[in-house]
Amino acid sequence: MKNLSHLLITALFFSFLFSTSVKAQDFDRLSNAKIEEQMIVPNYQFEYIPDFTYQEVAAKIKAMETDMPFELNEKIFAFINYFTVRNREYTKMVLQRQNLYFPLFEETLTDHEMPEDIKFLAIIESGLNPKAKSRVGAMGLWQFMPATGRMYSMNLNRDVDDRMDPELATEGAARYLKSLYRMFGDWELALAAYNCGPGNVRKAIKRSGGKKTFWGVYDYLPKETRSYVPQFQAMMYVLRHTEDHNLFLEQPTYPIAFEKIKFNQELDLEQLATVAGVCVEDLEFLNPSIQNRLVPATNLHMAIRVPKEKAELIAANKEQYAEAVKLTSERSDALRASNSTATPIKSVAVASSTTNSSAGQQQKVIYTVKSGDVLGTIATRNGTTVTKLKTWNNLRSNNIRVGQKLVIYKNQANFENTLAQNSGNAGPAPESYTVQPGDTLWLISKKLNGVTVDQLKKLNNLQSDQIKPGQKLKIS
């Protein structure tokens, strides 16, 4: 009888706990409640996610040491909830990639005497994916449009796109943001202008009656820009307080040490990898601006990043390699044909695709573990995360061995299907989504891993990106 009483009490407790969980469809109602009563109480099966209140987050933000201070409001809080509760997988992916690019960002921003926290902007722009491409053609870590990229000394052609070069793009972003700050005298407005253009910010200032703060002109900015700055500020908080939200880096991803070598000739990257004994994937990873594994005649003086451990060998034998790595017109055509794959669209988990771009059409790839590989590096090269690699391959730990075969899916939707099957709770996928306050089509595409903005617009016959809270969207 005593055990039965304990069981009943436990059941009642968990029933009450689950009934008070915050559901997505209740977000609109909760946002109108008194904020001091709002508590995030997530209900997740596989992972402990700590509770937190608005007041707790506000106090932590107030105590943050930053050159870009801000005060918490409901819009920023909603994105903190998004990054720490509703889409933790995205935040984990960012944690995995930050070691690759944050040192470069910090060094460049310091050189330009700019706030170090601007580094978090690249997370919102690209998810720290140097090959990210938006639906309107912006590219790289900092999402430069072609014309703006050229303004900041980035050249682009079908074989080499400097917007995807981490160093060149970061230098360009720093210079552009610095000029926007000089223009508006406010970092929040400079960030807004980076997103929607200085002309739109000037219009917003004029329509607001001359107010010169982001929140003062908020209602007059484009809808996407209204979400852009709060996302940035939410990420500033989240990456400073990952432990508070039980967000931990499962396995660090370390940069590949490299040196630059100029070959002063057209170059076949695959042949260079062969003669130098280098993994061609490493060369691609180090040189993301090279699109088709070749350097054309227009880029003869381009410096190639090679693994540091091979740099001395390659430099010493550069003349001997010259003929072997020489590019012919036939070889150029072959490389372009074999590498003409779809460039990934910016999304929650940016993944390179070698299939057609329609959702549900994914390619299963078998990867053979090489000497020196770790799950973190493999995940980063393939635009995925350690968690997904472990799920796809039923790995209980991060240990892998040379020669081991790993399954990798090149589209996010496969991960969701695999996870559902492994959990034993596979059910029918939801067919619709209810728009919540603060949502944009881009944000919704992030939540619905595997669905792009263009697909959402086609499914719902949308002529523009305008949506409103409460609107039902077809997602399948």
The answer to whether 379 and 253 have CB atoms below 8 angstroms apart is: yes
Three-point CA angle 322, 328, 334, nearest 5°:
120
Name the H helices within 277-431.
280-286, 308-316, 318-321, 329-338, 375-381, 386-392, 412-423
Does residue 407 sit in helix, strand or coil?
A: strand
Return the closest-CA partner of residue 291 out of 97, 101, 150, 131.
131
Contacts of 15 (CB under 8 A, 6+ apart): none
Exactly one of 36, 113, 125, 270 is catalytic; name it: 125
**DSSP states of 353-371:** -SS-SSTT---EEEEE--T
| Residue 262 backbone dihedrals phi, psi, to 5 degrees | -95, 130
Cα distance between residue 328 and residue 334, in whole Å? 10
365-378 burial, b if ≥16 CB within 10 A, otherwise e? eebebeeebbbbbb
195-232 burial, b if ≥16 CB within 10 A, otherwise e? bbbbebbebbbeebeeeeebebbbebbbbebbbbbbbb
Cα distance between residue 415 and residue 418, in whole Å? 5
Instruction: Tell me whether residue 32 is exposed, middle or buried, using C-beta atoms within 10 angstroms of its C-beta: 0 to 12, 13 to 18, 19 or more.
Output: exposed
Does residue 125 have an active-site annotation? yes
Name the H helices within 424-475.
441-447, 453-459
Cα distance between residue 142 and residue 147, in whole Å? 14
Instruction: Tell me whether residue 116 is exposed, middle or buried, using C-beta atoms within 10 angstroms of its C-beta: 0 to 12, 13 to 18, 19 or more.
Output: middle
Residue for token pair 């400073």: 240
The secondary element (H helix, E strand) that includes residue 474 is strand 472-474
Other C-beta atoms closer than 10 Å to the C-beta of 185 total 9
372: left (phi over 0), alpha (psi -120 to 50) or beta: left
- Taking 3-state DSSP, the helix, strand and coil percentages for the chain, each rounded to the nearest 5, stand at 50, 10, 40
Terminal Cα-to-Cα distance of the chain (whole angstroms): 50
Catalytic amino acids?
Answer: 125
